[in-house]
Amino acid sequence: MAEFALEPRGPEVQLAPGESAREISGRSPWRIAGRRLVRNRLAMAALGLFVLIVVLCLLAPFYANHIAKTDPFESNLTGTTNVNGEEVQVVQETQGGLGLGVTPIGPTWQGNYFIGADNQGRDVMARVLYGGRASLQIGVASAVICTLIALTIALLAGFFRGWTDSVLSRVMDLIWAFPVYLLAISLATVLLTKPQGLKWGPVTIDPSSFWVPTWIIAIVYVPYVYRPLRGQVLSVREKEYVEAAISQGASNLRLMFSDILPNVITTAIVLLPLMIATTILTEAALSFLGIGVQAPQASWGTIIDDGQNLLYTRPLVAIVPGIFIVLTVLSLNVLGDGVREALDPRAKVRVRE
């Protein structure tokens, strides 16, 4: 392969605005992109915010044990808690009206029940942090799985072309024709209706597992990632270095993995942060509708759903997890813009809802 390393990379790497040719000469494309990204202050701030949210959510058990001192997955309807030296009921029966409802404790602005409790008397802040772990885990995992599936299908379709491409692209078009939420709803209703889970040979699908929403979200978005990637594979396959490798007698696998894949992977990397932003929003929506993360587990979406009934009495239950979602998705969108500008200043890549 040594002789192909001499292939001039000139036209492949473009100058970003305000960058001199000397700054990028002789450096690998990855180094150049890394430099550009680190210099982009907005993108770095976004990365910092995202890391901060991830760290906060990872500290959820610590927060629950040492600051909130409650179990956020255990209902606490009769308990009391200490607020400014006074013992207060965590959940009070609603005065007046029919007396059927309950009013959980509001924000105490101290360690226990920092932003109040939900209908079950559970500490909402601790739940938001635990819920963040679920949301982030599902969002990241489904975006990665989705991108890997799309990359594989795009490589096969773009490399073999002909009927392989036709069949794969038609299947992708078919999935594309379904509204994202409705396809996810159909898959989720079928997979979640059996409480004891489905058995497919050695595989058991446990409805309470995070893998059910993860795979549903991953599959639903495959066509959205597949389309730009396939175009990229088709154009790279026409390049001279691929032709040269073919004339050397390179095997199909070598062509796909050492000649085409490295030139397509940047598109996948540019799409990834934007995909994670999209999948986190989708997970929140599905959990809000009751078909994502299942109780007693929590995610940002399920907590907003819990807060719906308390919206006018205890609005923070619904507002706080939403703020976490907005900050996470915003940081990923800004970071995604930065990554795109760093890797390919003139590219036009968009992820649509």
Partner 1 sequence: MFAFVVRRLIGMVLVLFAITVLTFLIFFATPGVDPSRQFAGRNPQPSTIAAVKHQFGLDRPLPIRYALMMKRLFISRDLVSYGNQALKVVPAILSAAPVTFSLVFGAAVLWVIGSIAIGLIMVTFKGSFVDPLLMILALIGISMPVFWLGEVVNLITQDRFHDTFLFSWVPPLGYTPFTQDPWQWFLHLIFPWITLSILYIGFYARVLRADLLEVQNEDFVRTARAKGLSPRGVLVRHMLRTSLITFVSLFGLDFGVLVGGGALLTEVVFGLPGVGLLTYNALRSLDLPVIMATVIYGAFFITIMSALVDIVYARLDPRIRPA
Distances (CA, A) of 129 to 47, 81, 88, 113: 19, 20, 24, 13
Q: Tell which one of 148, 156, 198, 269 touches partner 1 (CB under 8 A).
A: 198
Least gap, CB of 268 to partner 1 (angstroms): 21
Residue for token pair 């929506």 = 285
Q: Tell which one of 73, 160, 181, 211 touches partner 1 (CB under 8 A).
A: 181
334 makes contact with partner 1 (CB under 8 A): yes
215 makes contact with partner 1 (CB under 8 A): no
333 makes contact with partner 1 (CB under 8 A): yes
Q: Tell which one of 47, 155, 256, 318 touches partner 1 (CB under 8 A).
A: 318
Least gap, CB of 234 to partner 1 (angstroms): 14
290 makes contact with partner 1 (CB under 8 A): yes
Q: Tell which one of 20, 95, 193, 247 touches partner 1 (CB under 8 A).
A: 193
Other beta carbons within 10 angstroms of residue 25's beta carbon come to 10
52 makes contact with partner 1 (CB under 8 A): no
Other beta carbons within 10 angstroms of residue 143's beta carbon come to 27
- Residue 320: phi and psi, rounded to 5, are -60, -50
Least gap, CB of 231 to partner 1 (angstroms): 13
146 SS3 class: helix
Distances (CA, A) of 342 to 203, 285, 294, 332: 42, 31, 39, 15
Distance of alpha carbon 338 from alpha carbon 49, whole angstroms:
14
Residue for token pair 């799309």 = 150
180 makes contact with partner 1 (CB under 8 A): yes
- Burial pattern 280-302, b for ≥16 Cβ within 10 A else e, equals bbbbbbbbbeebbbbeebbbbbb
149 makes contact with partner 1 (CB under 8 A): no
Residues near partner 1 (CB under 8 A) are 170, 173-174, 177-183, 185-187, 189-191, 193-194, 198-200, 277, 281, 284-285, 288-291, 301, 304, 307-308, 311-312, 315, 318-319, 322, 325-326, 329-330, 333-334, 348, 350, 352-353
